[in-house]
Structure 1
Amino acid sequence: MTEQIPDKPDGDKTFVRLDDVDRKILSLLQQDASLSLDQIADRVGASKTPVWNRIRKLREAGVIRRQVAILDPEALGLEACFFVLIRTSEHDKEWAARFLRALRERPEVVEAHRLAGDIDYILKVQVRNARAYDRFYQSLIGEVKIHNVTALLSMEEIKASSALPIAEASG
């Protein structure tokens, strides 16, 4: 059963210890979140009410953040995926707030990460084509001062998954 380990003094999130049934439930939901409660219960070998209670506790603990539909970008005409490497000479709070606001306002930014090392940020930008990327780029640099931008066009998606390796993480 799900067990929460208290917050660490440094402010890190609570670690949730999972048992085998929790892992099975989460694996099933990561594969197909549209499974019915009956289907999940059947596949994990438990009855409906205890499975529902486990799912509820996993939601409350923040393990399950949300359930979404994963769309095919090409089917929507969003055929160009760019990975954008950003270096900045600005590191103050005001700049960071403007930068984060600019990213959050742009739906074409589907992922953004702050990095350690020579590159400060990496963005995953999904757009129709190179012209659409250029419009995104021009808009972004018009709003926020950026020292250096490198855009890399993904030629082929080899692997994409939203599934986390829960067996290793919670063992």
Structure 2
Amino acid sequence: MRNIEIKAKVRDLTKLMDKVRSLEPQKCEIIKQEDTFFNTSNGRLKLRKFENGTGELIFYNRPDTEGPKMCSYEKSDVSTENFNSLHSVLERSLGAKTTVKKTRQLFIVDQTRVHVDSVDKLGNFMELEVVLNDNQTPEDGEQIAFNLMTKLGVEKEDLISGAYADLLNKI
């Protein structure tokens, strides 16, 4: 699976939320997540836990650059029954780097997942994930991302590279 992503610091949460809602999203959902990042030799591996005890194991690879960037990823659902044992196996075999706790407001706008995240110890952020169809190029996704950035008032100086885990490791 592929998408084009951007991540940005949010300066004015109320203003951003008003702009997101003006896009008339098809879906709006609040999700509490806890992501544990593990040491890997390439890409990133995280185990995401949801409030109900289920989760996802997610491997992804993307450059640590500002602005729209290509991300390839694979996900596997994790049931409540085996979440803790999987976490333990991964931690013992790979070592855990960082845990990120956040409340995510998820909006779906056409083929884009708009995330408005409140990240413990970091503050508020916004992510765009333009999910590419098989017949779309990365450039198509970048154009969609740039258009949404403009509509949402995302400035170039607000863009960040890397993951929330990287930012947490710097504090």
Taking structure 1 as the reference length, the TM-score comes to 0.25
Q: Which has the higher strand share?
A: 2
Larger radius of gyration: 1
